[in-house]
Amino acid sequence: MIELKVHHQDEIKTIKTEGNASLLEILRENGFEIFTPCGGNGTCGKCKVWQKGEGSITSCVHYVTEPMEIILPDKKEAQILVEQHIHTLSVPFSPGPSSFLSYLPHGVAIDLGTTSLVFYLVNLVTGSLVETRAVLNPQAQYGGDVISRISYASEKEGGLLKLQEVILTSINEQLDHFAEFAGITKDEIVKITVSGNTTMLHLLLRVDPLSIALAPFKPSFTDEQIVKGKNLNLHCHAESEIKIMPSISAYVGADIVSGLASIKPADDRKNYLFMDLGTNGELALATQESTICCATAAGPALEGARISCGMGAMEGAISTYNGNEYSVIGDGVPTGICGSGLIDVIAHLVQNKLVDGDGLLEEEFVVVPADESDNGKPISITQQDIREVQLAKSAIAAGVNILVKEAGLSFDDIDAVFLAGGFGNYINAESAMKIGLISPKFKNKIIALGNTSGTGAVLALKSTQFDGVVQDLLKQTRYIELSGHDDFTLDFAMNMMFEPIEL
Ligand code: FES
């Protein structure tokens, strides 16, 4: 008998099985509900569960042969999987000529984020998503954000080479893991697609990124780049196609292009906003005729940086707060507060008039008293923290205002607001509206889609037809440089205020 430990909604259940069945079948036999929109064919990737300490696996194609510890999606993750399924474009499976390089071809889609790297292994015979892995970006030791990495690459002797080396090492480690996991050789990995922000793609190809940080912010390349596995010394077939997805500008990268292109058109959704909120808020407004996009320098507050007790969305971070209770990622003792928790706390302060319209905080607000925190010090919000959040929320709100005006629309004309990226998964939409980060006019229109950059990279891996979708999107997309826009300064100043609202 094989023992499986299943974590589900704060409980751990132990299952004994004889194996010889897919993980999905075993979970179902034991009463667990799993979302399977493709009916267990291995093609939609939505039946994924997490294997503790490993990564996500596609439960309908994973056969149980040894003991495992499984974590099922929580309510919010399950909802995101459903939304992803509803709103993701369907493309015919046609991985292209490199799939003929092997009898058992596999491909890997990669989302190169500033903080984390996400890898997707796809079987290019069946189209099934076999495994997903996420690891921290090892470049973080040379700078937490893109600007500090650009400085490192430009100012340190050998800096650019070092940044490329560490990312390639990390990619190779994951390719090795995938080969072992799937029981294939490295020569059976025949296609790799890479999405990510413009700086990450420059660093991957060892192209000097300095021009991204200096006015007029012109990257060295934005077009799609194709190289071979052997050019980057990757642990895959030497002739494999490595496709680097195209970007739009210095701060609207391939991650946004992939994400936007992955969204399925719908008759009941004429105009929609796409928001990827982080240190840079990348925003796009798509109408039936065209797309307008921009990037706002929101600052690092939403990622918990430059906040007195701030931290990233990792174990120990307070991720939600409702005035009485807080929740901590990993359910342990709190060590700090991440962006979503910060927004909840500030929404509580605004709603209860502990912060006034100008953002003045009466006194430092203690979220967690000293005796409940990890380091014996209180976790609090200071006046400066409020100021950082004001800068972030007004930059994003001003960016949205300008896109809506440029499109000749009103807020009422927007049919949906898609939140991309990890922050969108955690954020409480009501709190975001209460602090003015997202307009209350978008109530009931907000949909978190998870890692759309990764979704787009997987579509590019599975279908050459997705390339055409991407090229069409690029042709009809216009980029607006907000720093040169007449209305930005005024819009930014107007959105600094907090206004209590009823939802
Ligand atoms: S149910 Fe679609 S991949 Fe498993």
Q: How far apart are the CA of 48 and the centre of ligand 1, in A?
A: 8
How far apart are the two ends of the chain, measured CA to CA in Å? 53
Contact 137, 167 (CB under 8 A): yes
CA of 40 to the centre of ligand 1 (A): 4
User: Could you tell me the CA-to-CA distances from 430 to 165, 244, 376, 426, 440 in Å, in that order?
Assistant: 42, 37, 31, 12, 8
Regarding the beta carbon of 45 and ligand 1, being less than 6 Å apart is answered yes
The answer on 444 and 321 residing in a single domain is yes
* Boundary of a domain, candidates 73, 94, 129: 73
Per-residue pLDDT tens over the stretch 241-253 = 999 999 999 999 9
Cα–Cα distance for residue pair 424/282, rounded to 1 Å: 12
Q: Which one of 27, 60, 458 would you pick to mutate in the ligand 1 pocket, going by the greatest count of ligand atoms within 8 A of its CB? A: 60
- Say which amino acid occupies 313: A
Helix or strand holding residue 350 (H, E): helix 339-351
Residue 314 domain-assigned (yes or no): yes
- Is residue 57 within a helix (H) or strand (E), and if so which, with residue range? strand 55-58
220 is a domain residue = yes
Residue 25 CB–ligand 1 contact under 6 Å = no
E-assigned strand segments in 397-472: 416-420, 446-450
Same domain, 196 and 65: no
Question: Which pLDDT does position 330 carry in this prediction?
Answer: 75
More confident residue, 55 or 355: 355
Atom of ligand 1 nearest to the CA of 59: 4
Give the span between the Cα atoms of 279 and 263, in whole angstroms: 23
Does 44 sit in the ligand 1 pocket, CB within 6 Å?
Answer: yes
Question: Which one-letter amino acid corresponds to residue 252?
Answer: V
Does a structural domain hold residue 85? no
What is the number of structural domains in the chain? 3
User: Does position 300 have pLDDT exceeding 80, yes or no?
Assistant: no
Residues 115 and 184 in one domain: yes
- Ligand 1 centroid to Cα of residue 214, in Å, is 45
DSSP secondary-structure letter at 370? Answer: G
Specify if 482 maps to a domain: yes
Same domain, 38 and 127: no
pLDDT digits (tens, 9 = 90+) for 472-485: 999 999 999 998 88
The pLDDT value recorded for residue 237 is 97
Cβ(47) to ligand 1 under 6 A?
A: yes
CATH number at residue 189: 3.30.420.480
Residues 137 and 186 in one domain: yes
Residues 289 and 414 in one domain: yes
Residue 299 CA, ligand 1 centroid: distance in Å: 38
Domain boundary among 197, 213, 244: 244
CA dihedral 455, 173, 96, 85 (to 10 degrees): -20
Q: What is the pLDDT of residues 132-167, one digit of tens each?
A: 988 889 998 898 788 889 999 999 999 999 999 999
Distance from Cα 60 to the centre of ligand 1, integer Å: 6
3-state percent breakdown (helix, strand, coil) of the chain, nearest 5 = 35, 25, 40
Same domain, 287 and 401: yes
Task: Indicate the pairing of strand 280-286 with strand 291-297.
Answer: antiparallel
Do 474 and 363 lie in a common domain? Answer: yes
For residue 36, the ligand 1 atom closest to its alpha carbon is 1
Q: Work out the pLDDT band at 55, boundaries 50, 70, 90.
A: confident
The β-bridge relationship of strands 68-71 and 225-228 is: unpaired
Whether 260 is covered by a domain: the verdict is no
Q: Over the stretch 193-215, which tens digit does the pLDDT of each residue have?
A: 999 999 999 999 999 999 999 98
Q: Which residues contact 470 (CB under 8 A, 6 or more apart)?
A: 224, 245, 246, 257, 258, 261, 456, 460
> Coil, strand or helix: which one is 260?
helix
Q: Is 132 in the pocket of ligand 1 (CB under 6 A)?
A: no
By residue range, what is the domain housing residue 130? 104-244
Residue 313: which pLDDT band, with cuts at 50, 70 and 90? confident
* Contact by Cβ (8 Å): 86, 449: no
Q: How far apart are CA 355 and CA 363, in angstroms?
A: 9
Name the percent of the chain lying above pLDDT 90. 66
Q: Which two tokens stand for residue 87?
A: 């709103």
Confirm whether 135 is domain-assigned: yes
pLDDT digits (tens, 9 = 90+) for 349-389: 999 999 999 999 988 999 999 999 888 889 999 999 999 99
Q: Do the Cβ atoms of 59 and 22 come closer than 8 Å? A: yes
Closest CA to 108 of 50, 203, 182: 182
Are 299 and 418 in the same domain? yes
Is residue 251 a part of any domain in this protein? no
- What mean pLDDT is predicted for residues 425-435? 89
Residue (of 462, 485, 356, 457) closest to 105 by Cα position: 462
Tell me: do 364 and 480 sit in the same domain.
Answer: yes
Pocket test for ligand 1, best of 32, 43, 49 (most atoms within 8 A of CB): 43
How far is C-alpha 459 from the geometric centre of its chain's CA atoms?
A: 16
Distance 500 CA to ligand 1 centre (A): 44
Cα dihedral angle (216, 222, 227, 231), rounded to 10 degrees? 20
Instruction: Say how far residue 76 (Cα) sits from the centre of its chain.
Output: 15
User: Which residue out of 23, 35, 57, 58 has the highest number of ligand 1 atoms within 8 Å of its CB and is therefore the one to mutate?
Assistant: 58
Classify residue 68 by its DSSP letter.
Answer: E
Can you tell me which atom of ligand 1 is nearest the CA of 35?
1
Residue 89 CA, chain-centre distance (Å), reads 18
> What is the 27 CA–ligand 1 centroid distance (Å)?
14
Residue 125 zone, left/alpha/beta (φ > 0; ψ -120 to 50; rest) = alpha
Does residue 130's CB lie within 6 angstroms of at least one atom of ligand 1? no
Q: What is the CATH number of the domain that holds 14?
A: 3.10.20.30
Q: Ligand 1 in contact with 60 (CB < 6 A)?
A: yes
Please give the torsion angle defined by the CA atoms of residues 277, 281, 287 and 289, in that order, rounded to the nearest 10 degrees: -130
CB 42 less than 6 A from any atom of ligand 1: yes
Final residue before a domain boundary, out of 193, 215, 244: 244
Band (305; pLDDT cuts 50, 70, 90): confident
Give the distance (Å) from ligand 1 centre to CA of residue 122: 12
Same domain (yes/no): 308, 371: yes
Q: Indicate the pairing of strand 317-321 with strand 280-286.
A: unpaired
Total count of residues recorded for the chain: 503
Q: Are residues 423 and 293 in the same domain?
A: yes
Instruction: Tell me, in angstroms, the distance from the centre of ligand 1 to residue 6's CA.
Output: 19
**Predicted local distance difference test score (pLDDT) of residue 27:** 93
Answer whether 258's CB lies under 8 Å from 453's CB. yes
Residue 92 domain-assigned? no
Atom number, ligand 1, closest to the C-alpha of residue 39 = 1
Pairing of the two strands 11-17 and 336-337: unpaired
Residue 38 Cβ inside 6 Å of ligand 1? The answer reads yes
